[in-house]
Amino acid sequence: MKIHKEGRRILFFTLLALLAVNLLLFRYNAENGGFNKVFAGISVIMFLILLQFFRSPARRLFTHEDLIIAPADGKVVVIENVQEPEYFDDMRMQISIFMSPINVHITRNPISGIVRYFKYHPGNYLVAWHPKSSTKNERTTVVVESEAGPLVLFRQIAGAMARRIVWYVNEGDEVSQGEEFGFIKFGSRVDIFVPIDTEVKVQIGEKVKGGQTVIAQLKTPPPSLF
């Protein structure tokens, strides 16, 4: 199991801090051995929880130009037609994936294509399943012109615990399906907006894996014979 690059510095300094506190306790609080042992145990558990959060498991990616692949691990919490005001300003189908603190928090490109729009929005930290988190929370918006033709919009959205969104894409970049486009630290959500006629392949409550689970299929025109 690899550790994601976004977690290495945090893990290093957290380990140093925990070691320092435990060494000080055992040196200057030796008469309270029971307390010191309990604190040491809690320190190990805390570090292991943090370690699993930044894990980066190997994935056998699934790719296809007209399929939308899950951009993150988590649970499908929204499938509905909504007005998308930021870029399209029309009705789109929204599919949202909630990422709990125990999920892998790498975010991946759901489709291959060219980034036509990118914007970072500072904002609030409502709980990630709140309906207004998609427009009020700290977030990024990415619009990719897919190889199949249709435009696909997706957002990284910070949650109540997430206070840092990282992204690796910019306007004009060519992106590949399944590759990392960012990371969200400590609980969050990803929204995907696709054309209304897109065929959804998942259901509310279904658990998905980033880079592997097919969540929708774009409607594309049949190939011309001439």
Q: Please, are residues 87 and 153 in contact by the beta-carbon 8 Å criterion?
A: yes
Q: d(Cα 37, Cα 50) in Å, to the nearest integer?
A: 20
Active site residue 188: yes
Cβ count near 73 (within 10 Å): 25
Q: d(Cα 18, Cα 53) in Å, to the nearest integer?
A: 17
Which of 56, 146, 188, 224 is an active site residue? Answer: 188
Cβ count near 222 (within 10 Å): 5
Kindly report the backbone phi and psi dihedral angles of residue 124, in degrees, each rounded to the nearest multiple of 5, phi listed first: -85, -175
Long-range contacts of 132-137 (CB under 8 A, 24+ apart): 133/157, 133/159, 133/189, 134/94, 134/96, 134/189, 134/191, 135/85, 135/86
Catalytic residues: 188
